[in-house]
Structure 1
């Protein structure tokens, strides 16, 4: 593995065996929920591929 996955309180970045890097972030919202933002690395920058509001999160 050439690169270690990065994890922090806001999300993760992971690199599949085949294909580009992916990033999932959780941005806090004013109502106490979070916005999940999914993005793919295109070689130059992150391109957002999806968003949704998440009301509950927990560690597994």
Structure 2
């Protein structure tokens, strides 16, 4: 949970419906910390797809 609050991870909603985890990600996004400092952060699943292509 600490990594979400620090903006160092994504909460993957497809596999987790945990409201607390989503709230931590939303807070990090709002505060623009960690990866949320970037205007267009690339989700890991899209980055991996790009690496394979």
TM-score > 0.5 by shorter chain: no
Band the TM-score falls in, shorter-chain normalisation? under 0.3
Structure with a larger share of its residues in helix? 2
With a CA cutoff of 8 Å and minimum separation of 6, indicate the structure with the bigger relative contact order.
2
- Please give the TM-score of this superposition, normalised by the length of structure 1: 0.23
